[in-house]
Amino acid sequence: MPTLTPSQVQQFQEDGYLIIEDLFDPAADLDPIIEEYKGVLERLAQELYERGEIQSTYADLPFGERLIQIYKESGKVHAQYFDFSLPQADVRADTPLWVGPAVFRTLRNEKLLDAVESLIGPEIYSNPVQHVRLKPPEHLTPKDDNGRVQLGKTPVHQDNGVVLPEADQTEMLTVWFPLTDAYVENGCLCVWPGSHRNGLMDHCPSPIGLRIPGKTLGGAKAVPVPLKRGGALFMHKLTVHASYANTSDSVRWSFDLRYNPIGQPTGRGAFPGFVARSASNPESELHDPEVWAELWHQARHRLATEGMGAFNRWSADNPVCA
């Protein structure tokens, strides 16, 4: 059932974003995710150790410190190993991803879906444009061959801008929430209030992802969105946002989810979504995490064998990118 108040819905419509404190119970809702990812990190550590890429599995270290040390010693950020989506290029039959049951249950979290229903209605599709972000401190993160941090701040963009034009009319909703406290120093998000009313802006390819050129923002100012563990940020698909650099000494850990009404294009049709809630046809809902995982494994096989098409509409040849 919808849980947001009329004033909250109005605020979302006016500002293009809404902060909900204490949406999740940290112990009941978030700790199972953390426990599941401890196992993922253990498997990564064992694989790298067996290949001689690290000198120890560092099993005695806490999760965040262990991740930082493994990334630092191996000289590589293994972000794809943890993600519950596939990359947008070069998918192979063995491309790693994590589609575990705790992640799936989070996508179907009832409190989360209640809030989503307040904004897009009771026919809810889990859009496959989704990610986990485990961002180490930039001063401890390996760099690429050009001296850039392999996983740093997220550039200024709109979520509508990173999908195909087929989703331009889709009521796509973004839900971002941290697994650990997110604040400016460790790279929380920032948003441009009211920017969703300006329509889709030009995006330019860059080494760190699609970005909106600063000159097109017209001097608008960003507002930081620090969030305690348990809170969530809801954003309109056209809301301009970015993340700060992680200048702290700890990992910034977050989930980045999307939902849209059933039947509307997701903007990334090569990836599998599912019916998370349906008042009109409850039998269509997916409740089995193993089925969900198999959908992703099938998509990986298909993309590895048949190839991949375009994932966005933008070109560096656009004059605004010069």
Give the tens place of pLDDT for each residue, 161-204.
999 999 999 999 999 999 999 999 999 999 999 999 999 999 99
* Domain-located, residue 237: yes
CATH number at residue 128: 2.60.120.620
* Domain-located, residue 1: no
Task: Outline where the chain has alpha helix (H).
Answer: 6-15, 31-50, 63-74, 79-82, 101-107, 110-120, 289-306
Residues 257/175, Cβ–Cβ less than 8 Å? yes
* Domain-located, residue 47: yes
Indicate the pTM of the whole model: 0.96
d(CA 181, CA 271): 30
- Percentage of residues in the chain with pLDDT exceeding 90? 93
Residue 1 has pLDDT above 80, yes or no: no
Q: Give me the phi and psi of 92, to 5 degrees please.
A: -115, 170
Res 259: pLDDT: 98
- The secondary structure of residue 150, as a DSSP letter, is S
DSSP state string for 56-81:
---TTS-HHHHHHHHHHHHTS--HHH
Residue 82 has pLDDT above 80, yes or no: yes
* Domain-located, residue 108: yes
Nearest Cα to Cα of residue 296 among 124, 29, 107, 77: 107
Q: How many domains does the chain have?
A: 1
pLDDT tens-digit map of 9-64: 999 999 999 999 999 999 999 999 999 999 999 999 999 999 999 999 999 999 99
Range of the domain at 175: 6-321
Nearest Cα to Cα of residue 158 among 122, 120, 195: 195
Sheet holding 189-191, edge to edge: 223-225, 189-191, 241-243
Provide the token pair at 264. Answer: 């509307």
d(CA 301, CA 125): 23
- The secondary structure of residue 229, as a DSSP letter, is B
Res 311: pLDDT: 87
List the single range of 148-152, 228-232, 308-312 with lowest mean pLDDT.
Answer: 308-312
Res 218: pLDDT: 81
Res 253: pLDDT: 98
d(CA 104, CA 295): 12
